[in-house]
Chains A and B, each alone.
Chain A
């Protein structure tokens, strides 16, 4: 077991949390795919029924928001990792 001095341990923790905050933002991939899929489906729906445009956009935004929550969580965790030290 290697013993580190407190300064070295602290800088290791800082580096690790910066790297971890970068890794946390990988979670942005999933919501991006999901929101793009919803937008694509909404485009198809507007193409098929142009008169229902308002209702389709509202429904699309609600669905995108729910699927985008996970991306926001990862952003919050990244912010806490950077500024919370």
Chain B
């Protein structure tokens, strides 16, 4: 047993182009999201039907999380934040389908999304204060704190990505250890806890921390 992505096959047999199960399950997640979105948003009406109510409930719930922390800009950040919320949550809990591994149990996916969030945070900070004013904010309150501020800023994507990765892969390792020790019935409730509950909470947390980083950069 080894954690991390398992290479399924190579494109054209080229050793530099591996296709891992993270990639395959990640694309499967995207296809599921696309089908779900297409299903929920056909025939939009002024008086919503059942499907449209579900979609509006989801979007309103995510908007209700953004609006208190970024006042007045909820709808502007909604596409970005809702993408993170839905994709991360679904890729966390897709592990309940037997035979699939979670894409979030791979540092490449979590670190990639954390770097996207990091770039958005820098861009929002520069947009708010101008380039010079933003760079100057690193040397506040005194110039001696400059290296500490830079390290603190660079630590954000690292902690952001390692948190999700560590939670998911920790659960995977614990469940696989229990499977070796007591195979028949005992691991089933653990799946409920480690896959569903921790997956949902961590997907929520990942999006909330992204909102918090953006709102810190703008104030």
Contact = CB atoms under 8 A, between A and B. Distances in A.
Contacts of B165: 76
A76 B169 CA distance: 9
B204 A61 contact: yes
Contacts of A58: 65, 208
B151 to A, nearest CB: 15
Contact of B201 (A61, A73, A76, A83): A61
B interface, over-half SS: helix
B138 interface: no
Given A69-B163, A83-B2, A75 B205 contact: no
Interface residues of A, number: 13
A9 interface: no
B139 interface: no
Interface residues of B, number: 20
B3 A83 contact: yes
Given A75-B170, A83-B3, A62 B209 contact: yes
A62 B173 contact: no
A61 B207 CA distance: 12
B103 to A, nearest CB: 18
Contacts of B169: 79
A62 to B, nearest CB: 6
